[in-house]
Homo-oligomer: A and B are copies of this chain.
Amino acid sequence: MKLFSFWRSLATYRVRIALNLKGIVPEEVIQVNLMKGEQREAAFRAVNPMMAIPALIDGDGPALFESLAIVEYLDETHPNPPLLPRDPRGRARVRGLAQLVAADSHPLIVPRVREYLEHEFKFDEASVMKWCRHWHTAALTALEANLKDKATGRYAHGDAVTLADICLASQAAGAKYFNIDMAPFPTFMRIVNELSAIDAFARAHPAKQPGAPANL
């Protein structure tokens, strides 16, 4: 497998966690520097026309795209440990929590959105930060309410790690980028602290990737 990755990408962090949980080591990890705009270069556009990472090439391709689609692909091709519960209702809850992060929150704060606000609408740095914090916090608030449900256990859904936990971890990393006060989200933080003790999560963290600043 070939993974297109960048230390700061929260969506790629999700795929890295899944790869680690499944014990898969990609033969190649290709860095796509989002800060230099390498995702918009022709070479990468041929891989993913959406100009976004992650992308994953398994065997003779073509590239898979969108983090949750990739994680479910890994789960279907490498079933152990499973990243979704068996019952449809539980699977819907886990996918719902995951999409609350990966659809309702994260797409609003990615580089292309921040750059468009800056270049096209002349947002200054403080306004971009306010924007990011607003959407990140909205999702954290909804997650915390959802995680008060009795279906939550040691992790986001019961006592086994699922796709929802992978997304919680990425949301927590984003909260650090945006320096968000996490006091209102104790259930979320309890689970994230559990997750950070798991080697597959710790090794996948943005701060542990090539190119990450030492003080992250």
Show the binding face of A for B, using Cβ within 8 Å: 48-52, 58, 61-62, 64-66, 68-70, 72-73, 76-77, 88-89, 91-93, 95-96, 98-100, 102-104, 106-108, 112-113, 116, 120-121, 123, 127, 130-131, 134, 138-139, 141-142, 145-146, 149, 151
Number of identical monomers bound together in the oligomeric complex? 2
Contact check, B50 vs A64: say whether CB atoms are below 8 A apart. Answer: no
Please measure, in the bound complex, the distance between the C-alpha atom of A95 and the C-alpha atom of B69, giving whole angstroms: 5
CB atoms of A50 and B104 under 8 A apart: yes
User: Within the assembled complex, what's the spacing in Å between the Cα atoms of A187 and B121?
Assistant: 32
Contact B64–A92 (Cβ < 8 Å): yes
A66 and B116 contact, Cβ closer than 8 Å, known pairs A50-B104, A91-B76, A92-B73: no
Residues of chain B within 8 A (CB-CB) of A107 are: 103-104, 107-108
